[in-house]
Structure 1
Amino acid sequence: MAGNNYYHQCSKGIGRCVRITTHDGKVHTGIIDRVTSNKVYLRPIGGSRRNYGGFGLGYYRGGRGWGGGWGWAGAAWGFSLGLIAALVFIPFF
């Protein structure tokens, strides 16, 4: 039942910033990218230690050199609706 409630809340909040706390106590902050029948997908925002994008040395259109890229910043991380213990919409972001 709770998963169904979170589904409707997340569906209405696509594009909004949220903070999700899971039953294991982990806190995830991001922007709701999309929602399926059993998962919510968040695009991470600042404050994370993971390497989400930026600049780096790599291959760009067949050549090697510096280039800007979103890297993982464009990727959304999926969380099961059944694992959500708390969902809070953050008004400022």
Structure 2
Amino acid sequence: MSAQYYYTHCQKHINHPVEIRTHDGVLHHGIVHSVDQTHVYLRPFDGAPGPQGPGLFAFGAFAGGFLGGLTGVALGNIAFFRPYPFFY
């Protein structure tokens, strides 16, 4: 799917819980905070780790795109997007 498709889809899910898997296998869980033309920004669920996947470790405030409480995911790298029907 195109980045434009995911941009529109993510815009519809601002403030909703979602699960996003990227083409490199990283799984992101959180609430869509905002979307721009290149990235979707997620607030991780309380107590949940940052991005999960091969070779990603959380150290302090930065972990593979996790900065200042938000995780930025490139729209062009999204392989799978699933809204949760309820909070995780």
TM-score of the two chains, using structure 2 as the length reference = 0.74
SS in 2 for 1:14: coil
Which whole-Å CA distance do the structure 2 matches of 1:51 and 1:43 have between them? Answer: 17
For residues 76 and 48 of structure 1, what CA distance do their matches in structure 2 show? 12
SS in 1 for 2:7: helix
Percentage of pairs with the same residue? 42
- Give unmatched runs, 5+ long, in structure 2: 51-57, 61-65
> For residues 18-66 of structure 1, what are the alpha-carbon distances to aligned partners after superposition, in whole Å with 9 as ceiling and x for unaligned?
00000011100000000001100000014327589xxxxxxxxxxxxxx
CA RMSD of aligned residues (A): 2.4
Match of 1:63 in 2: none
Identify the residue that residue 27 of structure 1 maps to in structure 2: 27
Counterpart residue type for residue 25 of structure 1: G
Deviation of 1:77 after TM superposition, in Å, equals 1.3
Runs of 4+ residues over 3 Å off in structure 1: 49-52
Query: Distance between the aligned counterparts of 1:51 and 1:24, measured in 2?
Result: 21
Larger Rg: 1
Partner of 1:86: 80
Amino acid in structure 1 at the alignment position of 2:75: L
Q: Letter of the aligned partner of 1:83 in structure 2? A: N
The answer on 1:17 being equivalent to 2:17 is yes
1:36 partner amino acid:
D
Aligned to 1:6: 6
AA partner of residue 85 (structure 2): P
2:54 corresponds to: none
- In the alignment, the residues of structure 2 paired with residue 43 and residue 51 of structure 1 have an alpha-carbon distance, to the nearest angstrom, of 17
Q: Which has the higher strand share?
A: 1
